[in-house]
Chain A
Amino acid sequence: MNQQDVVCGMMVDASSAAHRSHFNDKEYVFCSANCQHKFEADPTQYLEAELVTTGGTVAARLGQSGVAAAVLPPVVPVPVATALATLDIEGMTCASCASFVEKSLSRTPGVHKALVNYATERATVEYLPGQATPETLREAVVKAGYGVAAPAAPDTSAADRQAELDQQKALAYQKLKRRLWVAVGLAAVVMLLSMVMLWPALSARINMQALNYVLLGLTLPVLLYSGREFYTSAWNAFRHRAANMDTLIAVGTGAAFLYSLAATVAPHLFMQHGLMPEVYYDTTATIIALILMGKVLELRAKTQTSAAIKSLMGLQAKTARVVHGEQEIDLPIEQVRPGDVVVVRPGEKVATDGIVVLGHSAVDEAMLTGESLPVAKNVGDPVYGATLNKTGSFRFRVTKVGAETMLSQIVKLVEDAQGSRAPIQRLADKVSAVFVPTVVCIAILTFVLWFDLAPEATRFPLALVNFVAVLIIACPCALGLATPTAIMVSTGKGAENGVLIRNAEALEKAHQVTTILLDKTGTITRGEPTVTDFIVAPGQTPSQVLQTVAAVERQSEHPLAEAVVRYAEAHQVPSVPAQEFRAVEGRGASALVAGERVLIGNQRLLTEASVELPAQLTEQASELLGQAKTVLFVVIGGQGVALIGVADTVRDTSAAAIRRLQAMGLEVVMMTGDNPQTAEKIAQQVGIKRFFAEVLPQDKAGKVQELQTEGRVVAMVGDGINDAPALARADIGLAMGGGTDVAMEAAGITLMRSDLQGVVTAIDLSKQTIRTIRQNLFFAFIYNVLGIPIAAGVLYPVLGISLSPMLAAGAMALSSVSVLTNSLRLRSFRGAAA
């Protein structure tokens, strides 16, 4: 027998229900423990509702909520905009819970509309800001027995989060600098005093014991204030059975300090064993000062690696001028909602993404696409947040806000890419995982060997000095920084140039490419028809005919008609009205312009209207058809007066870009659905030697594979329309022109600018980045591979050279800084010019 769950309204099998509760001698069953708990907390709340809907179904209950909504005072249509709130609902266990929350929200005074999505656990509420607040909405949800999740941290705007992080980093940097200066100051004094001992005349007059205590007093603050973090960090890592950079510094300086401390406090013990009670306070203090200096330099360089993405985030507009009835109100960007109409004046930033609804202008989109020329915007064109309005003033309807805008998505993509791991890094990763413990073992071995092999009088100090030098010179940081810093800089640099890199692997793959396969439409060509020829019969005025043609085509929605209108607009012909427009399926269109019947269409339209063309036009028509162009015939007042040749034209930059790719040693191959003759013409025009013609959309991926079986590493470039499988199949896919979402998923690299130069930029950037990473890794490896044995003293038996720990500290500080500096060189990268 089915019984209704009084909390959520779901029908539950009463015989098998696991969740039951008794109230007033009646047993209630529930769909889940959650509903049961809610009921038990306040049974009457649900039983009242049940009275109204006794025996009712879920549908009836939903209807009841409609009744409740109708009881609300009718909302007077005041010119106050409603606000939109989204709440993350917690505790919903079934779809009925969603309707329960929805009902509770709808009943709240001031709420226009509430929608609860069970799947996303999110409520979208439209309310009047004066009558309801996010707080009252929250209360309504809680009253219904559910919770509202506090907005998760990532919901705050990226810029705010970044600002907070930056502030914290700036503070940490200041603190680090303070620690450095204390260390430098004290270490300098310790150094000077230590040198006194090397001056016999002076050292004879000074009580060495007392001097050692002075040095101890000066070194202690260096250890406890400047170097404390090394010791706590090393200790914390040790407890986690992990070892890091700080472990090496802590053990190294710690050993030198403890030996010196013993020599200061109990010199007689050393004397007894025939040892000079030497102290190494200068070494200890100097090492800490030098390493801190390295850290300061490193931190400063590191902040620059992410400069590009930070400047992208900083582009976000802070306010928007929203149209409210007759007024224009400046609103913080967080309060702008999809559907709002926003005004943009000349020189202002576009606040968010939308579609132009009034006016026209030119907008600088360089920050998003890398395109340096402003882009013309007319009614119906999309505009993007953070771009800069140049000349005109316009209004746009908001389509996307917050995390959904183009800018946010670019930032997210770059951030994701910066978090990814490059395969080239694998070796370095493996090495750094075992690096520190291995170095500690080598250092211990060094100590033992020196102690066993050196002359007895000096064996202990020599063993100690070399032990410390090995620990200090080893630098896992250079290894760890080698790849990520280069990737950070180059993905940011890519975004600046309109090249979005999905991840480090894509970046690495792009430099191995040997062959570029271009899907002709939309990459080499514009991917949209353009008027290439406009030929009028003898005796006709071209501008007059064009004006008439444009009048008809303005009314049509056909892509060919749009091409004609664009052509007419480019020639600035005056706009005249057309009446009785009629589209003739599969043939063309007709309309009345200035009292004359105008026909525009293909050969069939011409034949069916039994219009004869002048011989000259017929000849030129077949010539155009021979060039694989589409021909439109214009008939005015029953007379054939003009021809319009339409074709998908080659982009101005294609030939140059292809030449540059070829100059980089890459083979460029084209594929197209065109017949071989047309394909050959286009290939010749842009300098491509190999092409695939008559390729059906579903065979594109097969062509990629065909090239791959020839042993090539293939980069596939497409416009993202029906070539997603080919993009995914290729070793690296490049989607062009912002691409569709699908293509962006399948493509390793997305080119924001519809221009083949982006491919050059992407490949070039990839090559330079990988070169930088290789240099970094080589340097980091060679530094450690040479540095550690030298510090251990392998050269001592042969050349008598051993490395002072202070020199080792200097070398280490410089090693990670040099790797970072090398990565930062990528900042000077320039994309291929448009």
Chain B
Amino acid sequence: MDTSELIVTLVGLGLIAFVLWYFFFSTHQTVSAVSSATGVQQVDITVQGGYSPAVIEVEKGKPVQLHFHRNEEASCSEEVLFPDFGIRRELPAFQTTLVELLPQQAGRFEFTCGMGMLRGSLVVK
């Protein structure tokens, strides 16, 4: 094995380690819902290659309004799915789409893009 082979091997393995860590073992930012005077919990979420914030904390038993603003045209994010709530909503590009739901049970509920690659979760407390 010559030097360049050694370098390529080490760099390659390093990159693999980085990819695995970066996509699977790093943390997401959390945002708690803001309750308005009417008792509706509202959160603004920007959709651009992912959801920011990606982890949303809400209280159970109170209606939740999620305002998804899709800030891109890339087709990957054109749908948002809340499988546990039976919600599929199309998100038109550069518009805000309202998703309303009423969490009755505490727990962690995932929401994803149409193909399950972009992920976020709704943490109900």
For residue B4, give the distance in angstroms from its CB to the closest CB of chain A.
8
List residues of chain B with CB within 8 A of the CB of A429. Answer: 112, 116
Chain A 15-45, CB-CB to B under 8 Å as 1, else 0, gives 0000000000000000000100000000000
Evaluate contact between A452 and B114: CB separation under 8 angstroms. no
A442 nearest in chain B by CB position: B16
Interface size class of B (residues with CB under 8 A): 35 or more
- How many angstroms between the C-alpha atoms of A244 and B23 in the bound complex? 11
Evaluate contact between B38 and A433: CB separation under 8 angstroms. no
Evaluate contact between A441 and B74: CB separation under 8 angstroms. no
List residues of chain B with CB within 8 A of the CB of A476. Answer: 115, 117
- A114 CB–B CB distance under 8 Å: no
A432 nearest in chain B by CB position: B116
A421 with B72: in contact, given A235-B49, A242-B50, A433-B119 (CB under 8 Å)? no
List residues of chain B with CB within 8 A of the CB of A235. Answer: 49
A243 with B23: in contact, given A165-B92, A236-B49 (CB under 8 Å)? yes
The main secondary structure of chain B at its interface with chain A is: mixed
- A168 CB–B CB distance under 8 Å: yes
Evaluate contact between A168 and B93: CB separation under 8 angstroms. yes
- How many angstroms between the C-alpha atoms of A72 and B86 in the bound complex? 50
| A229 touches which of B8, B24, B26, B74 (Cβ 8 Å) | B74
**Docked complex: A149-186 residues within 8 A CB-CB of B:** 152-154, 164-165, 168, 172
| A165 touches which of B12, B19, B87, B90 (Cβ 8 Å) | B90
- How many angstroms between the C-alpha atoms of A154 and B100 in the bound complex? 10
- How many angstroms between the C-alpha atoms of A454 and B116 in the bound complex? 37
Evaluate contact between B49 and A233: CB separation under 8 angstroms. yes
Q: By CB atoms of chain B within 10 A, which of A229, A417, A448 has the most?
A: A448
For residue A592, give the distance in angstroms from its CB to the closest CB of chain B.
60
List residues of chain A with CB within 8 A of the CB of B52. Answer: 240
- How many angstroms between the C-alpha atoms of A445 and B54 in the bound complex? 31
- A409 CB–B CB distance under 8 Å: no
For residue A783, give the distance in angstroms from its CB to the closest CB of chain B.
15
Evaluate contact between A242 and B37: CB separation under 8 angstroms. no
Evaluate contact between A418 and B88: CB separation under 8 angstroms. yes
List residues of chain A with CB within 8 A of the CB of B54. Answer: 240
List residues of chain B with CB within 8 A of the CB of A172. Answer: 73, 93
- A685 CB–B CB distance under 8 Å: no
**Docked complex: A434-466 residues within 8 A CB-CB of B:** 434-437, 440-441, 444-445, 447-448, 451-452, 456, 463
Evaluate contact between A237 and B118: CB separation under 8 angstroms. yes
Evaluate contact between A93 and B50: CB separation under 8 angstroms. no
- B83 CB–A CB distance under 8 Å: yes
- A205 CB–B CB distance under 8 Å: no
Q: Nearest 6 pairs between A and B by C-beta?
A: A236-B49, A240-B50, A419-B88, A480-B115, A233-B74, A237-B49
| Chain A residues proximal to chain B, CB less than 8 Å | 34, 90-93, 121, 152-154, 164-165, 168, 172, 229, 232-246, 295, 299, 415-421, 428-429, 432-437, 440-441, 444-445, 447-448, 451-452, 456, 463, 476-477, 479-481, 484, 503
New contact pairs (4) apart from A432-B115, A463-B8, A481-B115, CB-CB < 8 Å:
A154-B98, A165-B92, A242-B118, A451-B4
| Chain B residues proximal to chain A, CB less than 8 Å | 1-2, 4-5, 8-9, 12-13, 15-16, 19-20, 22-24, 26, 28, 36-38, 48-52, 54, 72-76, 81-83, 86-90, 92-93, 97-98, 100, 112-119
Residue contacts A-B, CB under 8 angstroms, 8 given: A154-B98, A168-B92, A233-B76, A415-B88, A419-B86, A433-B117, A444-B19, A484-B114
